Amino acid sequence: MQPIILDNPLIRHKLSIIRNKNTGTKEFREIIGEIASLLCYKAMEDAKLKTIEIETPLCKMETEVLDENEYAFVPILRAGTGMLDGLIHVIPNAKIGHIGLYRNEETLKPVKYYYKMPKDIQKRQVIVLDPMLATGGSAVDAITMLKEDGVKNIKFLSIISAPEGIKKLEENHPDVQLYTACVDKSLNEFGYIVPGLGDAGDRIFGTK
């Protein structure tokens, strides 16, 4: 699938703020959540609704609602948790799983250290979260783990993506739709997205 890119003036404005190395932890964290909310709205365009009857102050009516219990958000630790508040704001009753991966600094390949999913994860629409789709290694491995757990309906949300990561995701999981706010130029020799915004995890949690 071709990536869906949310290119609009509001997102470009917010990206400019988080790219700035002088932006503080509080503002950086808040804007990551805001962009994540906007990505979630886009990713939910094909959501199925069910019809129920409610009563307004004036009359009864039929209306449509989302079954929030059908959804699960799965952030890739640790940076992915920075997007979580933005999505919970949109779908507060979604279940939450976690996948712990870290990148080996020498091989640049992801190493798994944690995996915990809600019950019946295979029946849910799963939205995987990671602010940076760089080499694509963590994204591919996380999605592979979910598929091995029986999950069939998966979407991936990232703030900034690199062409290399997009290509790897498409090659390994062509059925997974990517939603991203921006596609940057490339990766540098250390596997970081350029121009990017640095290490998203460190900037979200203020650890550097």
- For residue 151, the enclosing domain spans 4-205
Among 107, 144, 149, 175, the one annotated catalytic: 107
- What residues contact 13, with CB distance under 8 A and at least 6 apart? none
Q: What is the pTM of this model?
A: 0.92
Q: What is the mean pLDDT of residues 145-155?
A: 96
Catalytic site includes residue 202:
yes
Binned at pLDDT 50, 70 and 90, residue 112 comes out as confident
Q: What per-residue confidence (pLDDT) applies to 1? A: 78
What is the CATH classification number for the domain harbouring 197?
Answer: 3.40.50.2020
N-to-C CA span, the chain: 36
Q: What per-residue confidence (pLDDT) applies to 102? A: 75
207 pLDDT more than 90:
no
Domain count for the chain: 1
Q: How far apart are CA 137 and CA 169, in angstroms?
A: 8
Q: What per-residue confidence (pLDDT) applies to 78? A: 86
Among 19, 23, 85, 103, the one annotated catalytic: 103
What tens digit of pLDDT does each residue of 53-92 get?
A: 999 999 999 999 999 989 999 999 889 999 999 999 999 9
Mean pLDDT of the chain: 93
Catalytic site includes residue 103:
yes
Q: What per-residue confidence (pLDDT) applies to 107? A: 79
Q: Beta strands 110-116 and 98-103: pairing type?
A: antiparallel
List, in sequence order, the alpha helices (H) in the chain: 9-19, 25-43, 81-90, 137-148, 163-172, 200-205
Among 19, 23, 85, 199, the one annotated catalytic: 199
Q: What is the mean pLDDT of residues 174-183?
A: 97
Q: What is the mean pLDDT of residues 142-147?
A: 95
Binned at pLDDT 50, 70 and 90, residue 106 comes out as confident
Binned at pLDDT 50, 70 and 90, residue 117 comes out as very high
- What residues contact 81, with CB distance under 8 A and at least 6 apart? 75, 98, 129, 204
Among 12, 120, 202, 207, the one annotated catalytic: 202
Binned at pLDDT 50, 70 and 90, residue 155 comes out as very high
110 pLDDT more than 90:
no
